[in-house]
Each structure stands twice: as structure tokens, then as C-alpha cells.
Chains A and B, each alone.
Chain A
Amino acid sequence: DAGVIQSPRHEVTEMGQEVTLRCKPISGHDYLFWYRQTMMRGLELLIYFNNNVPIDDSGMPEDRFSAKMPNASFSTLKIQPSEPRDSAVYFCASSYSYNSPLHFGNGTRLTVT
């Protein structure tokens, strides 16, 4: 198994630009999570999906953030417009079921200048 695959690994963009982060979960996993890691706030859950349906998006910081999961093998996290305070490492994770381990991708390091 290739694990959770995220792209790109690094993204540098200017303030105001749209950013799209991508994730392919492990095949057969029904749950997909988006996390953000910063020095100040640590690891924060942004949103998660079950069977492609968003279950809880209360961690999404504001309307500039949106996430979609059009099918079981693909999800996107979009930031529009981006701001310097969005700079962080964004992780995608998946799990087989509600009581099974989380598996993380390698993350996308986002820098907004």
C-alpha cells in the first residue's frame, strides 16, 4: 500500500492567491481528515469526512477555507484568498473505520508571503 498521498509537498504563494492541496487516502479507508500543524497551535483538526460526506467542519478557521471529497479516492482543501497566517504544514489522514488507527500523509508545507 502506498499510504496516504498528498500533493504538493511544498507550496509557496503570495497573499491573495488561491491554494489547492490534494489528498489520496488509503484504498478502502472510509474516513478522511485534514489537519493543520503550526508551532503556536500544534496539530488542529480542520474537517473530516465519512464515506465522502463532511461530518464536522467546526475546525475550519473561516470561510476562506473549503474542503471537498468528490469520490472515495480524492479530497481537496482550498484556501481562497490565502493569507500569511495560513502558513503551516497541512496533513491529510485516513482511517479504515471509526475505531481504527489514523494514518497520515507526509504533509504539504504551505508558505504564504
Chain B
Amino acid sequence: GIQVEQSPPDLILQEGANSTLRCNFSDSVNNLQWFHQNPWGQLINLFYIPSGTKQNGRLSATTVATERYSLLYISSSQTTDSGVYFCAVELSTDSWGKFQFGAGTQVVVTP
């Protein structure tokens, strides 16, 4: 099956720093989403981004489907950015809904 790998597995940032999270996938995808799971366990959708670049405040994401990767950028990090960031990919429309989640990147932002 399709493999989804996220890196790095853990990231410690000082408040105000910038960072890049990566999601690699082993086959072509039709859908890709980024999620943030906060320390209380809530899963928040950040981006629906099967291709191209999107920005939302201090966060932005880029997916290069032909190269089989997606990047999530966090700029001027804040303590509220702490949590686990997941990418989830869907292989094709025939298997729509079967999102495979990566193992996540655990981010800790220190004051």
C-alpha cells in the first residue's frame, strides 16, 4: 500500500522561530490534507492541498504531487503551535475517503 512518511518525528522550537515539516508519499495522490492535533487531542484541519501552495496566516503549505511530497511551513512560531502535525493522503478517487495518515511530527514550542 501507499506509504506516508513524515519528518522530522520531533521538533523543538523556540518561540519566534520558523520551521518546515515534510510529508513524503510513495505513490500519486488525489487528495492531501494537513491537520494539527493540539495538546487536548483536537484534530484541526489546516489545509486541503492536493497541489500548489496555500497560506493561512503564519502557516503555509506546498504540495508537489509530481515529486510526491508536501511541506508545511510554520513562521514566527508561538506556544499555541505545539502539538502533532499530521498529513493525510488519498491514493485515488476509487478509494476516496481512505486517507492514510502519517505518523505525525510532534512539535514543542518553548517560550
Contacts and interface: CB of A to CB of B under 8 A. Distances in A.
Interface string A82-113: 00000001010100001111111011010000
Interface in B75-111: 86, 88, 93, 95-99, 101-104
A26 to B, nearest CB: 12
Given A42-B103, A42-B104, A43-B86, A104 B43 contact: yes
Which of under 10, 10 to 19, 20 to 34, or 35 or more describes the interface residues of A? 20 to 34
A45 interface: yes
Sorted nearest first, the 7 A-B pairs with minimum C-beta distance are A104-B43, A43-B101, A101-B48, A101-B45, A48-B97, A98-B96, A42-B101
A45 B99 contact: yes
Interface residues of B, number: 21
Contacts of B104: 42
Contacts of B86: 43
Interface of B: 31, 33, 35, 41-45, 48, 86, 88, 93, 95-99, 101-104
A55 interface: yes
Interface of A: 31, 33, 42-45, 48, 55-56, 59, 89, 91, 93, 98-104, 106-107, 109
